[in-house]
């Protein structure tokens, strides 16, 4: 039975039920098929999504903008410089005003508390396009991609190699909701947040998922179905770049590491990739890479989210 998600905020996968996650993925599949056969589907005709960007973006902006257009709606881009936030207007007041004009708000920002405050004071759904803590839309797209490639999610062995950042956090929540066996492999001092880990493990008890931590990439990938990586220094961490390159030197996803994994292991990266750092050219462009299918699916999953909540 379909779950009614109209008006629901999409801030963290932890906040979604397993049924809601599956509904997003199933809806994405339906909308992707409609798109491929050229079927026009405009459930959001006359509706407007406001998009607040306090962080730069390629995939998030373009995929949400195209998604709204393909669903018959309109996407309004707002950079930090376009709003009064930099001149002292509160997030609460911004939310109270924007929800009088818009049918939904997507925000890509630094502080996670800003998204929570925006949602608290908005009467229209708020979608987290990325914060320093979480990246739920990316991981919902990743789950869709894994299911598309492997046929299922339950029992899939997913190994994430890299920083315990917003991607690692959302992957833990996504894995926990869908029965994936996830290993987060990070160097000492760069593990994921302990509270997020504990919450994900609580969710995992309901689905048979497992959330494991490791510091040995070679051992971690031995039975991997999917090997996933991300940049070592996220936006806002540029000053730490040299230190992080040294700390993560043994955590590169390269052909040598792939030799230690199963022959059928696939490679994912949320992009942008810093080629030659966390991943090598031959891997990201190789036959095991599904990186660009993964990027495409941002469009289809975000269409599903928009259609369901708006």
DSSP string, 32-76: HHHHHTT----TTTT-EEEEEESS--SHHHHHHHHHHHHTT-EEE
Three-state DSSP state, 218: helix
Indicate the burial class of 76 (C-beta count within 10 angstroms; 0-12, 13-18, 19 or more). Answer: middle
Is 100 considered catalytic here?
A: no
For residue 3, the tally of other CB atoms under 10 A from its CB is 14
List domains and CATH numbers for the chain.
13-134+298-309 (3.40.50.1370), 137-295 (3.40.50.1370)
Alpha helices in 235-280, H assignment, sequence order: 241-247, 255-259
Evaluate whether 47 touches 99 at the Cβ level (below 8 Å). no
What string of DSSP letters covers 140-196? HHHHHHHHHHHS--TT-EEEEES--SHHHHHHHHHHHHHT-EEEEE--TT-PPPHHH
**Is 185 a known active-site residue?**
no
CA distance 205 to 40: 41
Residue 270 is a catalytic residue: yes
The pLDDT value recorded for residue 235 is: 63
Distance CA 57, CA 223 (A): 34
- What are the phi and psi torsion angles at 212 (to 5°)? -115, 150
| 235: its two tokens | 């936006």
**Which tokens hold the place of 225?**
């179905």
Between β-strands 266-269 and 226-229, what pairing exists: parallel, antiparallel or unpaired?
Answer: parallel
Buried (b) or exposed (e) across 175-187, using 16+ Cβ within 10 A?
bbbbbbbbbbbbb
The Cα diameter of the chain in Å comes to 55
In the block, residue with structure tokens 């899939």: 156
Residue from 14, 59, 112, 135 carrying the catalytic annotation: 135
Consecutive 10-residue averages of pLDDT for the chain (310 residues): 91 98 98 97 98 92 98 94 74 94 97 96 98 98 98 98 98 98 97 98 98 98 97 76 92 97 96 96 98 98 98
225 is catalytic: no
**The one catalytic residue among 270, 294, 300, 302:** 270
User: Considering 138, 252, 294, 302, which one is annotated as catalytic?
Assistant: 138
Catalytic (active site) residue 84 = no
- pLDDT of 1 reads 47
User: Catalytic one among 108, 169, 269, 300?
Assistant: 108
Dihedral sign, CA of 245, 251, 256, 258? negative
pLDDT of 220 = 98
Instruction: Give the active site residue among 230, 269, 294, 302.
Output: 230
Is position 230 annotated as part of the catalytic site?
A: yes
Name the residue with tokens 């491929």.
36
Neighbours of 5 (CB within 10 A): 22
Separation between Cα atoms, residue 7 and residue 82, nearest integer Å = 26
Cβ–Cβ < 8 Å for 247, 190: yes
């Amino acid at each position: 039975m379909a779950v009614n998600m109209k008006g629901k905020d999409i801030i963290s996968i932890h906040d979604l039920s397993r049924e809601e996650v599956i509904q997003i993925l199933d809806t994405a599949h339906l909308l992707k098929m409609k798109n491929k056969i050229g079927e026009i589907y405009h459930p959001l005709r006359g509706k407007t999504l406001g998009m607040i960007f306090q962080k730069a973006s390629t995939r998030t902006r373009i995929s949400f903008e195209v998604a709204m257009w393909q669903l018959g709606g309109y996407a309004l881009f707002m950079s930090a410089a376009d709003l009064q936030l930099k001149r002292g207007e509160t997030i609460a007041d911004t939310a109270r005003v924007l929800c009088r004009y818009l049918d939904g708000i997507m925000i890509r920002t630094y502080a996670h508390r800003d998204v929570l405050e925006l949602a608290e004071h908005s009467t229209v759904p708020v979608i987290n396009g990325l914060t320093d803590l979480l990246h739920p839309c990316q991981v919902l797209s990743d789950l869709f991609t894994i299911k598309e490639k492997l046929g299922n999610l339950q029992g899939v062995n997913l190994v994430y190699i890299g920083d315990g950042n917003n991607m690692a956090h959302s992957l833990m929540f996504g894995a926990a909701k869908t029965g994936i066996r996830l290993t987060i492999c990070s160097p000492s001092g760069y593990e994921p947040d302990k509270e997020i880990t504990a919450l994900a493990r609580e969710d995992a008890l309901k689905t048979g998922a497992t959330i494991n931590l490791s510091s040995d990439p070679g051992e971690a990938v031995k039975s991997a179905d999917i090997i996933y990586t991300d940049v070592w220094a996220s936006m806002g961490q540029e000053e730490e770049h040299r230190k992080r390159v040294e700390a993560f030197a043994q955590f590169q996803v390269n052909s040598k590491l792939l030799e230690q994994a199963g022959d059928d292991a696939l490679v994912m990266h949320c992009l942008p990739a810093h080629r030659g750092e966390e991943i090598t050219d031959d891997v990201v462009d190789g036959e095991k890479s599904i990186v660009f299918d993964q990027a495409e699916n941002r469009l289809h999953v975000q269409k599903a989210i928009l259609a369901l909540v708006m």
